[in-house]
Structure 1
Amino acid sequence: MTRPIPDIAGLSRRAVIAGSVGLAATALSPAPALAATSKPLPKGFWWGTATAAHQIEGNNSNSDFWLAENVKPTLFQEPSLDACDSYHRYEEDIILAAKLGFNAHRFGIEWARIEPEPGRFSEAELDHYLRVMEACHAHGLAPVVTFSHWTVPRWFAAMGGFEHADSPALFARFAERATAKLGPLMAAASTFNEANIARVIQIRPEVKAIEPLVRAMLAACAKAGGTDRFASVLFADLAKSEDNQVRAHELAFEAIKAGPGNFPVGVTISMQDIQGVGDGNKAEAVADAIYGPWIAQAAKADFVGVQTYTRVRVDANGIMPAPKGAELTAAGYEFYPEALEATIRFAAKRTGKPVFVTENGIGTDDDSRRIAYIDRALAGVRACIDDGIDVRGYLHWSLLDNFEWVFGYKQRFGLVAVDRRTFKRTPKQSALHLGARARANRV
């Protein structure tokens, strides 16, 4: 499904110069040898990283999130500004990913750039993403494209986003136009990133406390845009938006599959290992609340994208806090990499479709814990494959330390550190560690 990874020695002089922030420029130790007990994964298995356009590109000023970051009051701790400047440095990032040993690269195409005003499409921006994909192919990375990673154009949010009756047709129009230009170079695509994200957010007990601030922020966005409404995917009113978003997925899926190009199209879902604790636990009800209609939609797609970070324990009263004394990540949730195996099994059983791990990772400043997390998560991937589950790739979140939404730049999920002033990329030991497994295609 993808081209072989070029050997580092075979990279052009231009590639080496462009990737000068890569492995040779670091003082990291060599990647450790794989354990003698490691076993090969299926031929063609995708190893890579996942990114999101708004989180890495920078200056995405036509998007709803850009506005929300800059109004007062806002839930965002800081604005995205230049992010990682990957809009200009995408080739540097792609070369670095290839040098690390990966063969797939998940990234987003930004709707707000491509259609900055309703019905007005930018050929220049489509050409930009075409160049991103050409760079992926030139360096042996399969382009895995996300059509919408939470952000939408400001004009779309101002009309009510997916609460508006016309939203399915508008999103499908964008998908059709983007596919017409980019489809021939896509290796795989998803319509929405974590299509169930609003459900995941709203079921969390602590979210009630921030609801007044969210409402005030959205009201400020509406006022700034001179409208009476402003709707966000992240903070959606599900009663008004979810049916439209499901229909938008269905129409966009059809538009993307119509081509050009011949590649699998799926939907990615935020999944937690939902564990029932004790008699009368509400684990099944919590699962229904988190997934809603999206498992059924994934069952009709070509694949399901599993995006897992931790577990959720549920007793008779609902969601429980992390166990006393449990290790917590920088994002505040439990360090529990074994969750990935459970969600892969759940997704495969419930959908009957091939599984790609489209996100999995940890926010931490202790890179040794990132390495431990990766190894334990991959052990679960290995167990699933050994049991005959069709797992086709592992895309780690994330390549870069980037803009983590409302938390700004304080949480670092990247395999590669990014200097906030110079944008210099510095691979961490975890980058070499995961890259060694990718090169060997063994766990």
Structure 2
Amino acid sequence: MANDASAVFDTLSPAVSKGSPADPFTPPADSSLWRKNFLLGAATASYQIEGAVNEDGRLPSIWDTFSAIPGKVLAGDTGAVACDHYHRWEADVEMLASLGLEGYRLSIAWPRVMDAAGAPNRKGIDFYKRLLNRLKEKGITTFVTLYHWDLPQHLEDRGGWLNRDTAYRFADYADLMSCELAGTVDAWATLNEPWCSAYLGYGNGHHAPGLANDRFATQAMHHLLLAHGLAVPVLRTNDPASQKGIVANIGRGTANSDSAADQRAAHLFEVQHNAWILDPLLKGSYPQDLFELWPGTEPLVLDGDMETISAPLDFLGINYYFRTNVASDGAHGFRDVPLEGVERTQMGWEVYPDGLRDLLIGFKETYHNLPPIYITENGMASDDEVTDGHVEDTQRISFLRRHLAAVDQAIKAGVDIRGYFLWSLMDNFEWAFGYERRFGVVHVDYSTQKRTIKRSAELVEKFLQERKAKA
């Protein structure tokens, strides 16, 4: 099957699954990944790796508050220490550079760089200046996300993303950071995964701040997207040489049967997961099908809001992990119908690389103004262990190989994809799942903070060396 990413890059051979030193990663000779201008990097997020939550003037975030509530995070874990990156950043940059990774996507902790009155916190800002300057010294392309879910708690106390004023406070934050860090950032992303912030944070309560109301979710989403729209012109003014974009997580929905009801359910899944974000950004309107799912939840939209939200982007970041098989719920929505006998990760997510390809090609057909795309997150969690100083993460190697094949197929179908970031550089605090789920290509022993390069990272390094030699 020429159109099957799993067929293009075969799954693990028996030899590899036993930890063979054979190379199961290197792409075929005709892969777009060999292009020297295709950026290959890794990604992290501030709350997931930094720790030091009470140091140098950092204020509490909604995740500090949420993770301290018993039962909200697996095993009662918090991001108080995480990977201690705030103190170990220099060694982490050396590690990143030693792997030959060309790009690094990081986020700034809003509570670390401003006080409650909106004044700069110089110690926090200086941390990011040192980090970004060192990355530039190493020749690493920098993608900086302004908001990766760690809203200052004092803003949540005033309503958080349900309060329209938070969007304006975000624009102030973007103004400060782009003035302070201009010249050290190659690409700014305003938000990471507004779907998660809105739906998991305000719709079902799985994430901070833990509210659960569909009407809250749609209003929070509108204010998140408004914040993005208000920030983009500020970023353009203060740091004109950089790219400006946003990062959206996308989900593939497939129907459990050929029935019209199940096909409609799969469509509604993708409306809720994808069009809810992409339509406002690229069409200037919300998909009306969304309110078939959630009747009566239309957000309050003021004159000019949609024009602000739909300002042109330099790039669109795409995060993809799995697909969801759905059936009609018999009413106006859908229900999950997990498939049996499919490959899954430690998260329980199905490994389905073709979903990434299909969605990317579909977006090109749907949005005629689709900007250049970077895959800003893709990866998987596995229960990795260090054995004799090594980590043989064979499933991750196969996962990455097949998903990169899917990206290559989308490029060959005409989608403008310019780079790919592994999620994640290292194991870290996985939000409501704490430290049990390991997404990194570098293993972290949380008791000692020792980093151990996994086999997947070694193979990515090897490929990059080969590509550089051929350039």
**TM-score normalised by structure 2 residue count:** 0.78
Q: Tell me, yes or no, if the aligned pair for 2:202 and 2:210 is still in contact at 8 Å.
A: no
Is 1:53–2:33 an aligned residue pair? no
DSSP 3-state at the match of 2:79: coil
**Deviation string for 1:418-437 (max 9, x for gaps)?**
11122111100000122223
Is 1:44–2:44 an aligned residue pair? no
Q: Which of the numbers 439, 445, 452 marks the counterpart of 1:413?
A: 439
Q: CA RMSD in A?
A: 2.9
**Deviation string for 1:282-304 (max 9, x for gaps)?**
12211122235420344332211
Q: Tell me, yes or no, if the aligned pair for 1:322 and 1:333 is still in contact at 8 Å.
A: no
Judged with a 3 Å threshold, the aligned counterparts in structure 2 of structure 1 residues 252 and 362 are, in CA distance, closer, same or farther, namely same
Instruction: Look up the equivalent residue of 1:305 and give its one-letter code.
Output: G
Quote the Cα distance in structure 1 between the aligned partners of 2:212 and 2:419: 27
Match of 2:426 in 1: 400
Match of 1:307 in 2: 319
Farther-moved stretch of structure 1 (410-419 vs 30-39): 30-39
Matches within 5 A, 1:105-254: 105-198=104-197, 201=200, 237-254=216-233
Identity of paired residues, percent? 29
Displacement of 1:31 = 5.9
Quote the Cα distance in structure 1 between the aligned partners of 2:213 and 2:71: 17
Quote the Cα distance in structure 2 between the aligned partners of 1:176 and 1:238: 26
Matches within 5 A, 1:57-136: 57-61=50-54, 62-72=60-70, 74-77=72-75, 78-136=77-135
**Deviation string for 1:26-62 (max 9, x for gaps)?**
x995966836645353332110111000000013342
Judged with a 3 Å threshold, the aligned counterparts in structure 2 of structure 1 residues 311 and 403 are, in CA distance, closer, same or farther, namely same
**Deviation string for 1:243-280 (max 9, x for gaps)?**
22221110011211112341111111111122234221
Judged with a 3 Å threshold, the aligned counterparts in structure 2 of structure 1 residues 233 and 131 are, in CA distance, closer, same or farther, namely farther
Match of 1:279 in 2: 259
Q: Tell me, yes or no, if the aligned pair for 2:198 and 2:218 is still in contact at 8 Å.
A: no
Q: Which of the numbers 450, 456, 462 marks the counterpart of 1:424?
A: 450
Is 1:294–2:266 an aligned residue pair? no
Judged with a 3 Å threshold, the aligned counterparts in structure 2 of structure 1 residues 30 and 363 are, in CA distance, closer, same or farther, namely same
Quote the Cα distance in structure 1 between the aligned partners of 2:27 and 2:112: 45
Instruction: Look up the equivalent residue of 1:397 and give its one-letter code.
Output: W
Q: Tell me, yes or no, if the aligned pair for 1:30 and 1:432 is still in contact at 8 Å.
A: no
Q: Tell me, yes or no, if the aligned pair for 2:24 and 2:397 is still in contact at 8 Å.
A: no
Q: Tell me, yes or no, if the aligned pair for 1:304 and 1:347 is still in contact at 8 Å.
A: no
Displacement of 1:73 = 5.3
Judged with a 3 Å threshold, the aligned counterparts in structure 2 of structure 1 residues 127 and 202 are, in CA distance, closer, same or farther, namely closer
Instruction: Look up the equivalent residue of 1:364 and give its one-letter code.
Output: S
Is 1:328–2:327 an aligned residue pair? no
DSSP 3-state at the match of 1:414: coil
**TM-score normalised by structure 1 residue count:** 0.82
Q: Tell me, yes or no, if the aligned pair for 1:100 and 1:432 is still in contact at 8 Å.
A: yes
Displacement of 1:387 = 2.3
Instruction: Look up the equivalent residue of 2:313 and give its one-letter code.
Output: A
Match of 2:379 in 1: 361
**Deviation string for 1:58-100 (max 9, x for gaps)?**
1334211012111345345312221001112122222212211
Farther-moved stretch of structure 1 (408-417 vs 62-71): 62-71
Match of 2:13 in 1: none
DSSP 3-state at the match of 2:382: coil
Displacement of 1:182 = 0.7
Match of 1:15 in 2: none
DSSP 3-state at the match of 1:338: helix
- Unaligned ranges ≥5, structure 1: 1-26, 219-229
Quote the Cα distance in structure 2 between the aligned partners of 1:403 and 1:134: 25
Judged with a 3 Å threshold, the aligned counterparts in structure 2 of structure 1 residues 201 and 338 are, in CA distance, closer, same or farther, namely farther
- Unaligned ranges ≥5, structure 2: 1-18, 55-59, 283-311, 385-392
